Amino acid sequence: MMTQEELTVPSLGPARYESPLKAKGRPFPDPNVRIRMQARVGSDELEGQDLTFEKAGPRERIYFDPATTTAAYVTCGGLAPGLNNTIRSGFYELYHNYGVRRVLGIRNGYRGLVLSEGLDPIELTPDFVDDINDMGGTVLGTSRGGRDAADIVDFLEEYEIDILFCIGGDGTQRGAHAIEQEVRARGGKRSIVGIPKTIDNDVAFVYTSFGYVTALEEAAQVLRAAHVEARCHPGGVGLVKLMGRDAGFIAAGAAVASQEANFVLVPEVRFALEGPGGLLEALEQRVVARDHAVVVVAEGAGQHLFASADASTDASGNKRYRDIGIFLRDRIRQHFAERGIEMTLKYFDPSYSIRSVPPNAYDRFLTDRMTRNAVHAAMSGKTDVMVGSWNQSTIWVPISVAVSQRVTMSPLSDGWRAVLSTTGQPNWPGAEEA
């Protein structure tokens, strides 16, 4: 059971300086106001309802002297809409509002934080970040996989970096925690702050991660295209594979947003493929009755259908999954051919294209709010902390707590019920959850 002590964000020490924001007339939140972890109450949900998070926001006194402080940004892992916006808003908060004049951009993810790689940081300036918010991707570059924390702290010491902002998903945040532990072991006073990034929307204590809504919009457009293709061919089937290794939020959300999907397959729900009540039978019935269908599958769904699992991992340590999209494409074609039923299948895999576009208005707003609160955390002396969003508030949560769990979509959730309602697909009764 989690304790309140575990939710206490570490601090580097007493705040020694008056915040420059005070002279600008900025309002400061009451530091004693906290955000409840558990918003719902009920006989089976009482546990943990008294646990609270620290509410994010600027503090009247800060730990670092802006005139002598160096901050750095690093973007890691896969792309997501909004990375450049995060860098830009964070730079402007540091540079214009706090008066920090030395802000660095680390090149190519954690690889750029190793001296032997020879990747000198980029000096961020107002001119450099001026229009990067309209670009997809990350101007700093990215890579997968971590590096030895000792090597990274050597780099921070060499370049006299006081604050490191780590923008990335679960693996990136684990790396940030390891860096902070190494800084602490050396007796250093450096702030390590995580900014969560994942279009899968599966980071704990982040209600909506930036880039997710943009990815939904892009994915919904693909579903609409798949629907058009399916309706324009005899027995047309549009099969769309979307990202979602362990969480089906993109597949489910895009299906509900587009209202075009007839079947949605996610990692959290084990579905039957063959036999009565299975996907193939239901799909056949749909095509025979309506002459078209759209199937959406998350990349991590249906792994139980493969005879053997892939035991390898990627550079970030994530287990590699077998390609469910290609598997279903071939099996659906085989099923209809064996029964002599006319069917034309169009296969779509927009996985990379939907995450490389610039963010929409909502994600621009979200990146700005989260990254400026990350700056407030760092300047006030917080460390080993990640910015989160919980119960309609921006919070600070210890990274160790954030990475202790992964978020998945419950088959009992409103989101999954919305999928069942909009698609009319079987709930595969008797099929155990994945």
As a whole number of angstroms, the distance between CA 29 and CA 31 comes to 6
Residue type, 418: A
Residue of 162, 170, 200, 246 marked catalytic: 200
* Placement of tokens 């309706």 in the chain: 231
Q: 3-class secondary structure for the chain?
A: CCCCHHHCCCECCCCCEECHHHHCCCCCCCCCCEEECCCCCCCCCCCCCCCEEEECCCCCEECCCHHHCEEEEEECCCCCCCHHHHHHHHHHHHHHHHCCCEEEECCCHHHHHCHHHCCCCEECCHHHHCCHHHCCCCCCCCCCCCCCHHHHHHHHHHCCCCEEEEEECHHHHHHHHHHHHHHHHCCCCCEEEEEECCCCCCECCECCCCCHHHHHHHHHHHHHHHHHHHHCCCCEEEEEEECCCCCCHHHHHHHHHHCCCCEEECCCECCCCCCCCCHHHHHHHHHHHHCEEEEEEECCCCHHHCCCCCCCECCCCCECCCCHHHHHHHHHHHHHHHCCCCCEEEEECCCCHHHCCCCCHHHHHHHHHHHHHHHHHHHCCECCEEEEEECCEEEEEEHHHHCCCECCCCCCCHHHHHHHHHHCCCCCCCCCEC
Q: Which helix (H) or strand (E) holds 386?
A: strand 385-390
Has 200 been annotated as catalytic? yes
Q: H helices then E strands: how many in the chain?
A: 12, 15
Query: What SS3 class is residue 193?
Result: strand
Residues 6+ apart with CB under 8 A from 138: 75, 79, 83, 84, 87
Q: Which residues are catalytic, by number?
A: 200
